[in-house]
A and B are shown apart, each in its own frame.
Chain A
Amino acid sequence: MASGLSKRVRAIEDAILLIDHLYDRLRYLQPTVASLVYEASGTTSLQRCRYLAECKLSLESGHGFTNSWKDAVKKSPGSLELQEIELISALGDVLGSTDLDSQLQNLAWTREQLEHILSDARAYRDKHHKLYSSLGVLSGIAVAIILI
């Protein structure tokens, strides 16, 4: 449980990192969404965002971006939870389908929402981490006593 909380925090941090990456690339180079995904999936710092590789595979097999992105996020969310999955998944409707400014605004808004979720997730982790760790240790001791 304790490590699950930390993993979720890390997954949200990774998602924010990805959004920053997408924002910068879009603003500077205006690549196609496929190039954006291909490039991001090959970036070392974004390797933990497994949905990128999933989306890349889907695009390579000829599927459209919107469905590829949404399916990939739902299929390989890693340690993300429903709230953030929905936010990231919704980018599939935005990326590539509007003008640049609208896409950048949407990415900025999504980042802001993720920041809020991250802050809550961190607080939750810090609050419950010790509790879950102690519970884990106590459960281990209890099992050991029963076995003895």
Chain B
Amino acid sequence: MEVQNHAERFDSAANLLNVKLRDILLGVPAQAKRSAMEIRIRVGSPVAITCPGQIWFLGKSSDLHNIPQNGYLATKQDIADSIITMCEHSVHTHQHEMKNGFISLRGGHRAGLCGSAVLSAGEISAVRDVTSINLRIAREIRGAANDLVHRVFNRGLCGALIAGIPSSGKTTLLRDLARQLSSGKAGRHYKVAVVDERYEIGAVYNGAPQNYLGPACDILSGYPKGEGIITAVRTLSPDVIICDEIGMKDEVDSIIDGLNCGVKIIASAHASSIEELCKRRQITRLIDNGAFKKIVMLGSWDKPGQIQEVVEVGEIGDKAGRSVPYNSMFIDDGDLHGVGTLQKSTSY
């Protein structure tokens, strides 16, 4: 599979927008295209391109400015047309995603939508009057997980949680990690099952993955994570399940069920520190149940994908100021065997 360079990825994302925005964005200097992470479109505001450590505002002639003046002001029509184009004139195919505030796009890109929620029986049934789009440009960086593989999986597979703030490179790392594990870069070829709820890791489009995840990888696309994990365990006999952005109760329940089947879990979660991570009830449930042996904290958003620290689960009590003796649990390589109720002396 041919790997697109970053400028090509930028162009492929720009091509998903309406004609006016597309034409301006395609003219952006190649240097900016290469480092661009997001294209932000807000009604009445200049179109912005987010690069590591810098936001550029787009001019009408594709010129970039670091102040939001003389920029191209996106219109309501730009946003409405772009949504139709991004959905390939088939809104129904993205109905469920739009309800959750995003659209998965061809090429592995993702558009976050911001608008007014339409409620039906107390639940969000649609989003109308979209006022802004955050078009996140998919990046496939081969080798992004080299350091991760070396530091975390050098002694074989174990459960791991990759945590970081938004845009810190969690998905990019997971994508390359899936590829490396299934390609035998971590000692042997592992059977990897990727639960790609938001089409960001494998970015399957029309039945073909847009990102190469190696020869021993199965991708469950569009599955809610909880159901995807259960399906993977039941039908794919994976060595490891990889999924992005965990945190909901049903996802955690499924992961815990998966653990009891001897499958390793590698997942990501939003958090800026171990302390923050330990304040998230569902994450601590996973840690308490021995889902992860190691926790990988990523650096700031201007250095995406860079590992800040790798923490052994047994050390978390010290890091997070908890007195939970994690290392007293019966954990073997991230698997939990016959652990009873964990007694904690702290609450979080």
- Which residues of A in the span 85-130 have a Cβ within 8 Å of any Cβ on B? 96-100, 103
Chain B: residues with Cβ within 8 Å of the partner, total of: 11
Find out whether the CB atom of B89 lies under 8 angstroms from the CB atom of A64. yes
Find out whether the CB atom of A33 lies under 8 angstroms from the CB atom of B95. no
Chain A: residues with Cβ within 8 Å of the partner, total of: 16
Nearest-neighbour CB distance to chain B for A67, whole angstroms, equals 10
- Which residues of A in the span 47-106 have a Cβ within 8 Å of any Cβ on B? 64-66, 96-100, 103
Q: Find chain A residues with CB under 8 A from B339 CB.
A: none
Find out whether the CB atom of B92 lies under 8 angstroms from the CB atom of A30. yes
Chain A residue with Cβ nearest B206: A35
Q: Find chain B residues with CB under 8 A from A31 CB.
A: 90, 93
Residue B91, interface by CB 8 Å: yes
Find out whether the CB atom of B88 lies under 8 angstroms from the CB atom of A100. no
Say what secondary structure dominates the interface of chain B: mixed
Query: Considering the chains assembled together, what is the distance between the CA atoms of A65 and B84 in angstroms?
Result: 10
Nearest-neighbour CB distance to chain B for A66, whole angstroms, equals 7
- Interface contacts (Cβ under 8 Å), in number, total 40
Q: Fill in one digit per residue for B70-113: 1 if any A CB lies within 8 Å of its CB, else 0.
A: 00000000000000100111111101000000000000000000
Q: Find chain B residues with CB under 8 A from A97 CB.
A: 84, 89, 91
Find out whether the CB atom of B126 lies under 8 angstroms from the CB atom of A96. no
Query: Considering the chains assembled together, what is the distance between the CA atoms of A69 and B90 in angstroms?
Result: 13
Q: Find chain B residues with CB under 8 A from A34 CB.
A: 88-90
- Which residues of B in the span 200-220 have a Cβ within 8 Å of any Cβ on A? 206
Query: Considering the chains assembled together, what is the distance between the CA atoms of A98 and B84 in angstroms?
Result: 11
Residue A133, interface by CB 8 Å: no
Query: Considering the chains assembled together, what is the distance between the CA atoms of A97 and B83 in angstroms?
Result: 11
Can you report 28 residue pairs joining A to B where beta carbons are below 8 Å apart? A30-B93, A30-B95, A31-B90, A31-B93, A32-B88, A32-B90, A32-B93, A33-B88, A33-B89, A33-B90, A34-B89, A34-B90, A35-B206, A64-B84, A65-B89, A65-B90, A96-B88, A96-B91, A97-B84, A97-B89, A98-B91, A98-B92, A99-B91, A99-B92, A99-B126, A100-B92, A100-B95, A103-B92
The 5 nearest A-B residue pairs measured at CB: A32-B90, A65-B89, A96-B90, A100-B92, A96-B89
Which B residues are closer than 8 A to A by beta carbons?
A: 84, 87-93, 95, 126, 206
